[in-house]
Structure formats: structure tokens, C-alpha cells
Chains A and B, each alone.
Chain A
């Protein structure tokens, strides 16, 4: 497999199957996908269509049953759990549907956590800057239980950017929020993404949110259809 510097993620013939008691369930079927550096791609689809599974595999959280995935030129399918974790630490940021902040840490500590784990210096200063960017300067010492859902998700977004990741994976980032707050979060996400020049892969069932991405890929019963012509897509 040859890479051009523009290609950031490449998946080839990706298949994911789950063994049930007396049958095999195929979640992803023979998916090929290429995402370029700086792209923003929305993966849309109905519940159970396999979009989160695809996100998990692309982010190196899960492995495929067969096929190959390359992230930043690294063959994820050939790496073990720890190597994938190290790759995530260097390259990947996450925003989750239910925020997933550590309840025992303050907002600032949650933001700086990935930087500290990666041994990045000046984590606190950078954390404060990011909190300021997401409008939570005053909430730096608050604990998650003391914040609203929208505030928690803003903290999560700040956390996602602290290591200056090359790619950001967002899983239904506004699904747990009301419409107004959700919209603000989405704005913030796209704004920061643009500012930092990050590649964005976003999973959503919200067509409006998907449309804000440059490209949309639709998952349907384990198959992927890309809506943009320049991306190779095989169903």
C-alpha cells in the first residue's frame, strides 16, 4: 500500500463480524475508505447500521475481523493494543456522546489529563487556554457533577484538542444535549477544528450536522456509501 502525504486514514476491505451463540453477525462488510488530511467526514446512518463500530476501528479502539486500516501511515490492523494506544495518544482526539469526563477531576484537570499522560509540558497553561477558548475560564475548578451537560461537553472538546491531535473522532457529540446547546457545541467543534487544522471524523444520525462536514459517508446494513465524488467508495 502506498501513501501520499494527503491520505490520513485508509481502510481496505474492512469486515467486522461478531460471533453469536449459533450464528455470525456481520456488522461491517468489505468497506474501503480514504480520508485525507484536513478533511471533515460525517458518518451517518440509522441506529445499528455499524457507524460507531467503524469509528471504533478507524480510531484504533477496536479491530476488524479482516481487512486493513492505516492511520497516519501506521497499520492499525497489525498493531497490538498497546501500540494502538500509543498511536492514539500522539495522533487522536475524542469527543463522546456522553462526555465521559472523570468525575474525580476538575474541569481543568480533565482537560490536561491526556497531555499529562503523554508527558507534554505546560499542560496546565495550555489547558487554561483551551478552557478559555470554549468559554469556561470560570469553571476551571468545577467538577463534572457541578456543570451542565453543555459545559461538560465543552470541557470534553477542550480535552480533545489539548494534545494537538491530527485527527478528531466525535461520536454523536450533541446527541445528549438540547437543540440550542447542541448547536453551540457543534459550532465550537467546527470552529476549533478549523483553527487547529484537524481532520474530523464525526458519527451522527443528525443530517443537519452531517451536512456541516465536507464529506458524508452513509452506513447502511454494514455497507458504506460516500456522498462525495473525489473519495473512493465501494459499496
Chain B
């Protein structure tokens, strides 16, 4: 009965290669979805874990009010790990020495994420202290010098005497400040009360740190909502640092590449299914003439589709899972402490992809195939290519569904989908016009070219459709190739080779030449010396700034987090969260001004720093006169206008400056950045310290010890680890992008192969006729080459134009990169189109071109 026949036909067709293109297309679609969603999830999860290391937890609740134990109890109930952390500034005493320190008091479970390394003394190879207990403190190494003590000595913190048990070698949520904040002291949170440092009105930052799965953390957030006050706010992960933005862009690229890969694989599946139906039309007519009903014919061919889907899905899932596991393995290797989590999402997404691809792309051609009338056996002609609006419609719905499923982003998928539809419509129109105008053009051409153009013209619809898929395949490949190059270029530019990896802060005027001399002696070059002084913004246009109570905690917290980069990121989040919670208008205004009443690091320069750009107003003319240049986002927050007056207080002296320009600052540049730059005339009389940066090769690391000994008050901040981390990530992500590009290219090639194969039958007949009429191999080869070269060139030109347009849109809108034209694209696009399509066309048709006329005729008649 029919299952036997169906199975035998399936097996034979599989062996003959009839089903390979469709199988490969489905397999590729499933593989693309499984591997890309797996890799994207791994990257996302690695990013989250890495970011978690920066804050030593997965989630932090910040408060200016003392700990509410009920919140920790909730966390314990949910089996979410928690830790306490308090941050404040205080004076510590050791004998006659005293020093302002930045205290971090933590519970024993700290850190929940990342690594805390404590050593017995300041030597780099000193023994590690595994845990710390109550009654002990650990200090930043420079604090030992400042207090002139050594490990084992006692210091006074408030009214308590605590033992210096060692130094802090590595702190996961260390301050990355390039500005002179107070040195760190780490103590046990349970010792704080005894010190009596915390008094009503003290500026204390309380942090509830949590670690657990996303689901549990979300549940926790919901459950503790009723316990929170206006003074509590959730801190999200840092995604605006250099690392964060690099990975963020990579993630967007992966998503986009995945979407485009799916479109291509789906196109290949659709073309292959169409081609399969076309090739089998006569077989269906024959078996129907032999007495098979339409329903049985449908069952036979639907079973073929199901079997080929099953086969492709199994292979696609296995290969996709392998690729995704390899990526996860690479990430584990690269991050070390990264804990890979198995997610079933890529697998069911892959399964759904196969079902959608097979159901919506291939079912329609198979349905139509079974409807081929038995009468065709008497008509003696091949089934002509027919424009099937339903196939197109179901295919389009399938593409959109796949995009939506994969991205989980309704708008992005709808936007991309509409774009693809618009492009296809545009291409169809353009192709039709070009193929039509080719007729008068071909009049004076050689016969091979004339035949090629005649071929193109005769199969206008199939050729236009072919041209669309060729163009789409080339366009998507070009788009990803250039985007990838762009992203990698931007990242490398962000961290150029030899970028400054050491910052020296708190340099006095007298130390400047000495430090320069020391660096020069070691064949190193110091960058600019930026003068710095702490100041406070008092007023804007004589209106005094008010500080909300919550500000108290921010003071302490901001001192600890105050890298230029992170500071902005955090503040932006603060704003967003304030907006989200919808607090009253007054609170919002206060929130907007948050941080401005507190101390800021001010600098004064006559020349604008290299990575800054004036977006409004004018940079100081002739060094400026009582002027200030403000970072543009800060200016927006303060509702500043050019010409406004800002009142400052520095060292007890008050003065005002006129806002003369707004600057855009690249916070990811890892260069010293400032919110406010004053004109030098204002600050001439103030005693300043300086900040400089230089590149220290790994081999010269010991120089840091010499610097610390020779200039004890100068703080050295190394960003080597950050730079290394960024470089690592860039290298890994670049590799991932390349692999994905290769995947998309493979999908594009598959589309091209499917398309050329779709015309093989018809070409075979034409070649048989031409051969019979006496056409020589050379002539046929030239005609075929000319036809594919013309198609390739057209597809290449269309693809180039579209890629340039979409690149511009994506650069500016999605990746927030500056707009630029891609001159290379204009020769790579058409060239690649011509070479690739001609090459593939020739390879696929090569065998037909050398076959003799009788064989061709016999094949054509089968």
C-alpha cells in the first residue's frame, strides 16, 4: 500500500539527491536557530555573570536607611543568597597618624559573585588570607604607608580598636576611580555598631546584595516591594561600561545575524520545496493516472516532507547543540568562574523553526503538487513555474513568525520583515524593468550574449524571483560582513594597542617633573597632566540647589563608584528608575539634581581633551574668562542653557562661571573625563593636584612599586585588567561574529544553489535543443556564463545599494555608531555577486554543458 511506496520513493529520492537541498535548507535553518540562540544566550549569561562580578552580586538593593531584616528573611525563604554591605567615610587613627578612609563593611557571605583576595601583607606574593573575622580589618596597601603601619598593627576606627589583618589585593566591586578618593578599609559589618561611627545623620550607604537565578530574583523583587521605601532602589547590572557596550553590540549583531540567517535558510527551504514540487509534477500525474487518489498522493509526498523534516531537524539540532555547547565551553574557559547553565530554549526554538519552515514553506508546494491533474500525462509538458501568491504569503508569515520567535522582539521582527518585503517588491520592479530594457540592448551583441539576454527575458518571472533571492542573499552577506568589520574596528579603536593602562592621581605640582623624569628614564611617556580639585556646585543662575535626604547615601556611595564611566551609567539608571517608579514631581526634580550638590572633581584646561566634542556653544576663546564647559547629559539634567551661571565652592571660596559650551564625552574611552571643565583663569590661585596616565608594558610592572615608594601620596590605579578583559572579549566576540558570518554566507550559498538547481530541468531541455541545433560547447558555456554574470552583476548592484542604505540605518539607530560610507562595498558587492553567481552557476551546469546531444535529449525527455 501507499506507505511502502512512499517509503521506497523517499529512500530512492534521498539516494538520488532529490531531497538534499530541501533537507540541507531545513537543517541549516534549525542549526542557525539552535546555535545562534544558544551562543547568544551564553554570551548574555556570561555578560550578566561578568557584570555581576563588578558588583559582587546579581542584584543590589541600595538604601540610605538601616538594613530591614525582613528583606533578608524573604531572600532566605526563597533560597536567594544574600550579603550585607555598608559604605561610609570616616577618619581612622594609628598612633599620631590619621587618614580619611572609605570603609566597606561586609558580612561573611561577601562577595556573592567575583573574587575577593586578601593577603597577609602588601607583597605581591604574600600568603592569601582565606576568610576574615570580626575584629579584623584589611586595608588598601597605600593606606599602610599613609598611616605608617604594617600588617598586625592595631588601628582605631571610631571608638573601636581593630587589628590590621592584611591587605586587599583584589576586590570584585573595587572602586575604579581615577580620581583621588579615600583609600579603602574593609571590615566586618557586625563590627560597625561598636565603632559608634554611625550616628543619626551619618552618610551611610546600605546595600542588600543578592545572588540567584533570574526567576528567583524577580520573585524576590516582587515580594519585597511592599517593604521598600523611597530611600530604597534597585541597582541594575552595568551595561554601559566599555565591556558592556561591546557585548551589547555583539549581542545585537548576533540577533540580527540570526534573523538574517533564518530568512536565508527559510528562503532556501522555500525555493527547494518549490523546485522539488516542480520536478515531481509529472511523477504525481503518473501515479494519479495509475489510480492513486489526490489524498493518497498528498499522503505520499507529505510523508516525504515529514521524513525529510525529521532527518534535518535531528541533524540540525545535534549540530546546533554541538556548536552552542562548544561556544559555552569556550566562554567557560575564557571567563574561568563562569557557570554555564543548560537552557532548553534553543532546542525547542529549533524544533519550532523546523515545524514552521516545513509547514509554511514546504507544505504549500506539496499540497499543490498532489493536486496536479492526472490528465497531465497526456499533455506531455513540464509543469511551468507558476507564481503562487499563497506560497509567498505563507512563506512571508513563516519568515515573520520565525523572526519573532527568535528575537522575542515584536517590533524588531516586524520592522525587519517589512523591510525585507519592501526590498523584495522594489527588486521585483527593478528586475522586471531591467530585464525588459535588456531586449533593445541585446540587438548589437554577440550571439552568446544575445542568447543569455533572451533567456533572462523569457523567464521574466522566475528570473525576477531568482534575482530577488540572489540579491537578498548577497545583500545580507554584505550587510553582515561590513557590520562585523565596523564593530570590530570600533572596538579596536576604543582600546588601541598601547592605550594608557595606569593612572597616577594626587600628583603635586612639585612631583610633576620628577614623575615625568622617572617615566622617561624607563622609556615610558606620561600623558597630559590634568589639574584636579574637589569642588561643589552651589547654585544655577543664583538658585541654590537643594539636596534630598537620600543624597546622604549617594555621597558615600558615589565616592566608591566614581569612575567617570560608571558614575554616569549609575546615574542614568538612577534617573530611569526614578522615572519608572513614578514618584512625585518634586521628588523627580530633586532626583534630577541629585549629585550636583555634592563634591565633583573639577579641572581646568585651555585646550579641550582629545576625545571630547563641543555640541553647543564654543570652547574657551583665548583660554576663556570665568567660563565653564559642561558635559552635555549633565547639562540636560540640570536644564542648563549656554550663558547660564553656575556657582561653585572650592576650598571654602565661592565663585561663579558662565556656561560657554556643552561637550559630548566618550565615557567608554578609558581616558580621564570630566563633567565640568573650568577656564584656567578661575583656578589660577587654587592649589591643585594632577592626574596623568601612561602605558606600562607587562614586563615593567615592578616600576609600580618604585613609584609607590618614591611618591607615597600618589595613588596608582591600574586599568590593565579592564583593558585585558575588553581585549579578550573583543577577540572572542570577533571570532563569534566571523563564525556567524560564515554561517550566513553558507545559507546564502545554499539559496543560490537551490535557485540554480530549480532551473536545471528547464535548462537541460534548452541545452538539448541548442545542442541538436548544432551549438558548440564553447558557445553554450559562454551563453551560460554571460547569463549568470549578468544576473550576478545585477544582484550585486542591488545588494550593494540596499546594504549601504541599511548599514547607515543600523549604524546610527541600532549600534549607535557614527555614520560612514563604505566605499569598498561598491566594488566588493557587484564583484562578489558576479563571481559567486557565475561560479556557482557554472559549477552546477558544468556537467550539462559537456554532455552530448543524444544523452541530453534522452534526459530531457524523461
The answer on A and B forming one complex is yes
A residues contacting B by CB (< 8 A) are: 52, 55-56, 59, 61-62, 81-82, 85-90, 92, 94, 96-105, 109, 113-114, 116-119, 144-145, 148-149, 159, 163, 171, 176
- With A92-B291, A102-B286 known as contacts, the answer to whether A119 contacts B1 (CB < 8 A) is yes
**Known contacts being A104-B9, A117-B2, A119-B1, is A94 close to B377, with CB within 8 Å?**
yes
> A151 CB to closest chain B CB, in angstroms?
11
Residues of chain A with a CB closer than 8 A to B159's CB: none
- Given the contacts A55-B378, A104-B18, A94 and B290 also touching, CB distance less than 8 Å: yes
Which residues of B are interface residues toward A (Cβ below 8 A)? 1-2, 4-5, 8-9, 12-13, 16, 18, 282-283, 285-296, 373-375, 377-378, 380, 858-859, 861-862
The contact of A81 among B16, B282, B294, by CB within 8 Å, is B294
> Complex: how many Å from CA A23 to CA B862?
35
7 extra A-B contacts, CB within 8 A, seeds A62-B375, A114-B290, A149-B861: A52-B378, A90-B291, A94-B289, A96-B377, A109-B8, A144-B862, A171-B378
State the CA gap A92–B1 with chains docked (Å). 18
Residues of B within 8 A of A52 (CB): 378
* B378 and A113 contacting across the interface, CB-CB below 8 Å: no
Least CB separation from B292: chain A residue = A117
Q: Are A102 and B9 in contact (CB under 8 A)?
A: yes
CB distance from B655 to the nearest CB of A (A): 91
Chain B interface, >50% SS class = helix
| Contact in complex: A86, B291 (CB < 8 Å) | yes
Contact between chains at B291 and A113 (CB < 8 Å): no
Partner of B13, one of A104, A144, A149, A159: A104
In the bound complex, what is the Cα–Cα distance between A56 and B289 (angstroms)?
Answer: 10
Give chain B residues whose Cβ lies under 8 Å from the Cβ of A102.
9, 283, 286-287
Known interface pairs A113-B290, A118-B291; A105-B8 also in contact (CB < 8 Å): yes
A105 in contact with B12 (CB, 8 Å): yes
A82 close to B377 (CB less than 8 A): no
Q: Contact check, A89 vs B291: say whether CB atoms are below 8 A apart.
A: yes
Q: Which 5 A-B pairs have the closest CB atoms?
A: A89-B291, A82-B293, A104-B12, A88-B291, A114-B290
Are B292 and A100 interface neighbours, CB within 8 A? no
> Considering the chains assembled together, what is the distance between the CA atoms of A52 and B376 in angstroms?
11
On whether A61 and B375 interact (CB within 8 A), knowing A117-B287, A117-B290, A118-B291, the answer reads yes
Q: What are 16 A-B contacts with C-beta separation under 8 Å?
A: A55-B378, A61-B289, A62-B375, A81-B293, A85-B292, A88-B289, A94-B290, A98-B380, A100-B286, A102-B9, A102-B283, A104-B13, A105-B9, A109-B12, A116-B4, A119-B1
A163 vs B8: C-alpha distance when bound (angstroms)? 19
Closest CB in chain A relative to B297 CB, distance in Å: 9
What's the minimum C-beta distance from B560 to chain A, rounded to whole angstroms? 73
Taking CB atoms, residues of chain A closer than 8 Å to B859 are: 145
CB distance from B716 to the nearest CB of A (A): 76
* Distance (whole angstroms) from the CB of B178 to the closest CB of chain A: 72
Which residues of the partner chain B approach A176 to less than 8 Å between Cβ atoms? 861
Task: List chain B residues, Cβ under 8 A from A171.
Answer: 377-378
Q: When the two chains form their complex, are residues A117 and B861 in contact, meaning their CB atoms are under 8 A apart?
A: no
CB <8 Å contact, A100 and B377: yes
User: CB distance B288 to A85 under 8 Å?
Assistant: yes
Q: Which residues of A contact B858 (CB under 8 A)?
A: 145, 148-149
A88: which B residues are within 8 A, CB to CB?
289-291, 374
Alpha-carbon gap, A103 to B861, bound state (A): 11
Distance of A117 from chain B, by nearest CB (Å): 6
On whether A61 and B374 interact (CB within 8 A), knowing A85-B293, A88-B289, the answer reads yes
In the complex, how many angstroms separate the beta carbon of B649 from the nearest chain A beta carbon? Answer: 89
Q: Which residue of B lies closest to A60 (CB)?
A: B374
CA distance A104 to B6 in the complex (A): 12
Instruction: Kindly state the separation between the CA atoms of A113 and B286 in the bound complex, as whole angstroms.
Output: 11
Look across to chain A and name the residue whose beta carbon is closest to the beta carbon of B855.
A145
User: What is the CA–CA distance of A102 and B6 in the complex, to the nearest angstrom?
Assistant: 13
Query: Least Cβ distance of B296 to chain A in Å?
Result: 8
Nearest chain A residue, comparing its CB with the CB of B289: A94
Q: Could you say which of B18, B292, B378 has the most chain A C-beta atoms within 10 Å of its C-beta?
A: B378
Are A113 and B295 within 8 A (Cβ)?
Answer: no
B292 to chain A, nearest CB (A): 6
Residue with the greatest number of chain B CB neighbours at <10 A, chosen from A55, A88, A94, A104: A104
Q: Is there contact, CB below 8 Å, between B286 and A56? A: no
A17 shortest CB reach to chain B, Å: 15
Are A61 and B377 closer than 8 Å at their CB atoms?
yes
Q: Taking CB as reference atom, which chain A residue is nearest B285? A: A100
Chain B neighbourhood of A159, CB < 8 A: 290
A56, B375: Cβ atoms closer than 8 Å? yes
Cα A89 to Cα B1 in complex, Å, equals 12
Closest-by-CB residue of A relative to B861 is A98
Given contacts A89-B292, A92-B291, A104-B16, contact A117 B862 (CB under 8 A): no
Residues of B within 8 A of A104 (CB): 9, 12-13, 16, 18
Q: List the B residue with the shortest CB-CB distance to A52.
A: B378
Contacts of B1 in A (CB 8 A): 116-117, 119
